[in-house]
Structure 1
């Protein structure tokens, strides 16, 4: 058999170049394939939820209205959010969560003005993380042979791209986490490559993704400083200090000044009543009695279960890397929260953690490999991959194979038929589940039991739907409207469509004004207590 070393020098170099080109082509093909797999899985789950009418005005309709505002070169205004929660005129979604990065989704609406473009965009953003994960894995296993690096790259990308947090988030519609996931990976990858300018840009964009992410950026600054403590790279240390100080400072400025300036209410999302009425009081209470933190962290069995689930599905690998510290501020927000929604794995919150956990796991395995602990790496890596992919199959991929999950239920299907009778440009109070089907052609607010004086009202009245608190409330609201100037145009499967024909206001009619006081949603006691289903 002829070998490269037996060839003349020029021929040997050519053969080596051709072999290298084949490997590079194969590597790129694998990257493309795994990227497309992630995109397809995430988009399919989002489309399934859209098709079965499981995506509501909260939150897909809210983001749709906001991004449409950007697409028309205005502020991200959402009547679904502002009217229901009694925000005064002038409120934009920047006063809810400070996420100006969402403006980058606006060009999608120039191609197709439809809420489903958000599902496409989020799936693409999640998929954009696949090449970054592969680069992180390549660098972590730089001293391994080509065959090992190829296997690690492929498995890491598969575990990330089909990660259960991404699949669950895709089933939950669209959120700011779509940007946070690839930006965290970009930060880690650029820092790993010692490309400090790129890392700084990623950190800035992360701070523009959501007001609390600056705390995680600050934590990564501390990790960088620790890792560079004995080095001579001044730019690395400068970036570490900039992130450590600038990240939390950006969060403080956004929460204290920018959000209120955009119509938001200071302390609106303070969900830590067990610790204190506000941040200052909570700090004083904790300093005086640190045991309060433990009491809050174990106030519900779901909180330690959440932590256990995250550790289990990653085989505890992230705990071996300093990068895992970046997740602490985001986890602490949820563990100490009084809001049951924050304790469940059935929502999008774990997707914020996923790029951190995956990167930390890869780094941990890379360190073990460099120390010669090859068997341990294979065992731990295989265990983590199997556990993570098993969770993905059960919590995400399984749903794609269930035919009835692609179909709306009778009541939600009736909502579609009723909504088709509403003319374009009308003003509408809409059931949460049908609201996203109306945002691109009507002026829609959420049907919440407070009369808003709109031309049309479409809602379910035989079973409770968000945001109603009791089963009879919707039927009572329907009766109130029918008794005061509304005529019923549609009544099927527990769904009604009412058209306003009278001119006298319905008792209790109200729209937020300059003096309105925003309020946060009251969560019914039976919500958020199922670990998997929320």
Structure 2
């Protein structure tokens, strides 16, 4: 005979009535909408040659290695950043969740597998968001709860952070989004064992997710204490301690044990040279935190955009606490890549912010002040979605490569399978499945084939003049031009003449950090 659950510890999913057939059909439609839009944006980027070696090519090589029962290695990442041969990406970021995608490569060995998988993972969050809305509006009338579920699902499905991530190809945020939602939903349903399970899985998405788990542990413990749930209080306390501890262990022990260089991603020079120095600096001069957070001003604009597109509603819920460590990582960072809102970073925040917004709306509904806030949030979020995603889908020119990129795909098809290649970052993902490819960068690598543009600047070169100089250097030292069109050049190495400055990382290689171009981070919406 099943043990009765303690008073108050009930799954609130059915409080407002079991969903009917029409409700389930709406949920299926919203899930399909999310998948189709995210998949379309990702495939649009692939077709138009906007999905690049950094990062789609890197993750494609890593997951392909998992599919062959190897550690996740990426020549694109390793060679460009001078990591030693055989370096595993598990020493770069703690992302074991990526191994879950390996079986998909047994079905279709292609980078577009990741694009579709990410769209599916994002779409899997739609029914979870709808359940979260029902939990939040458990005390409202059934009609209100249904409308909250539908609108919450719609805002999530077309959320600009998801559209941005889809547009950019693929990133480990694909797992962080559904894992975060499931952790939050199970907590609201008072299923504390399942909450801990999804919290543990969330920690496998990226090394800093333990901070999110720790923050949620505090929120869960307080809520459970107020509700008299001893199990929830204990679960929250464990998560509050275990999450940050796990992040600390991964960053200080696991990543270095896997070959990750100490302090490689430390981008808080305005606070201190390392974490210990930064802590001492903050304790003696706490105002440096505020100074770093608002300088340059684009950081303020970033936070205003992130919160403003949900009409500031997330600020009304304790769940917003989970977003604080992720926002702090960005506003205190010296790395300009962290400041715009056109990368994947905001997708980590989206499940948290939307859940907090729904909880705030539920509280406002109890006070009969919901309509204007809800309409404003939906309008702002929809406008951002149009600007940062939906508007791109209806533009025919965004479905075609630009004139400078179009010849790259033609030239890439001329490179034989199994060749070693230095390729323009733009076209590198087209070669990862069948060649040993790295991106062409500011150091010659001695590959058999080199594919590069010379009239348009490509990452990571500082100028087109550098690219032209590279081609001239190679032509003078053993390479022959076998194809060229509209500023795209394909070179083949025909003699073993040494190339001045050519270099491949060796066992004692010292990793180098990326030099960020001056125009990055200057504009909130600059792609």
Normalised to the residue count of structure 1, the TM-score between the two structures is 0.94
Q: Which residue of 2 aligns with 1:380?
A: 373
Secondary structure of 1:488 counterpart: strand
Selected match of 1:57 from 45, 53, 63: 53
Selected match of 1:494 from 487, 494, 498: 487
Secondary structure of 1:94 counterpart: helix
Secondary structure of 2:464 counterpart: coil
Selected match of 1:470 from 453, 457, 463: 463
User: C-alpha displacement at 1:297, in angstroms?
Assistant: 0.8
Q: Which residue of 2 aligns with 1:4?
A: none
User: C-alpha displacement at 1:256, in angstroms?
Assistant: 1.1
User: C-alpha displacement at 1:504, in angstroms?
Assistant: 2.4
Partners of 1:259 and 1:24 in 2: how far apart? 48
Structure 2 gap segments, 5+ residues each: 1-16
Selected match of 1:519 from 495, 507, 512: 512
User: C-alpha displacement at 1:354, in angstroms?
Assistant: 0.4
User: C-alpha displacement at 1:231, in angstroms?
Assistant: 4.0
The 5-angstrom pairing of residues 319-398 of structure 1 reads 319-369=315-365, 371=366, 373-374=367-368, 376-398=369-391
Secondary structure of 1:227 counterpart: helix
Q: Deviations over 1:143-172 (max 9, x none)?
A: 222221111111000001100111111111
The 5-angstrom pairing of residues 12-27 of structure 1 reads 24-27=20-23
The 5-angstrom pairing of residues 300-311 of structure 1 reads 300-311=296-307
Q: Deviations over 1:37-78 (max 9, x none)?
A: 000000000011100000110000000000000111111100
Q: Deviations over 1:87-130 (max 9, x none)?
A: 01231111111100000111111110000000000000000000
Q: Which moved more, 1:314-323 or 1:498-507?
A: 498-507
Partners of 2:227 and 2:515 in 1: how far apart? 52
User: C-alpha displacement at 1:490, in angstroms?
Assistant: 0.9
Q: Which residue of 1 aligns with 2:419?
A: 426
Q: CA RMSD in A?
A: 1.1
User: C-alpha displacement at 1:253, in angstroms?
Assistant: 1.0
Partners of 2:223 and 2:448 in 1: how far apart? 62
Secondary structure of 1:229 counterpart: helix
Q: Deviations over 1:259-289 (max 9, x none)?
A: 1122211111100011111111000011010
Q: Deviations over 1:338-395 (max 9, x none)?
A: 01110100111101000000000111111222x3x22x11221111111111111121
User: C-alpha displacement at 1:452, in angstroms?
Assistant: 1.0
Secondary structure of 2:405 counterpart: helix
Selected match of 1:279 from 253, 275, 280: 275
Q: Deviations over 1:476-517 (max 9, x none)?
A: 010100000000011111111100011122111111111111
Which portions of structure 1, spanning 4 or more consecutive aligned residues, are displaced by more than 4 angstroms? none
Q: Does 1:455 align with 2:448?
A: yes
Larger Rg: 1 or 2?
1
Partners of 2:148 and 2:281 in 1: how far apart? 47
CA contact (8 A) 1:223 1:322 kept: yes
The 5-angstrom pairing of residues 76-87 of structure 1 reads 76-87=72-83
CA contact (8 A) 1:165 1:350 kept: yes
Q: Which residue of 1 aligns with 2:14?
A: none
Structure 1 gap segments, 5+ residues each: 1-19
Secondary structure of 1:307 counterpart: helix
User: C-alpha displacement at 1:251, in angstroms?
Assistant: 0.8
Partners of 1:146 and 1:240 in 2: how far apart? 30
CA contact (8 A) 2:45 2:399 kept: yes
Selected match of 1:201 from 197, 200, 214: 197
Q: Does 1:73 align with 2:69?
A: yes
CA contact (8 A) 1:90 1:263 kept: no
Q: Deviations over 1:410-467 (max 9, x none)?
A: 2211111111110001000111001000000000011002111111000111221101
CA contact (8 A) 1:220 1:326 kept: yes
Q: Which residue of 2 aligns with 1:8?
A: none
Normalised to the residue count of structure 2, the TM-score between the two structures is 0.95
Q: Count matched residues.
A: 511
CA contact (8 A) 2:421 2:448 kept: yes
Secondary structure of 1:515 counterpart: coil
User: C-alpha displacement at 1:230, in angstroms?
Assistant: 3.4
Secondary structure of 1:74 counterpart: coil
CA contact (8 A) 2:224 2:230 kept: no
Partners of 1:505 and 1:255 in 2: how far apart? 40
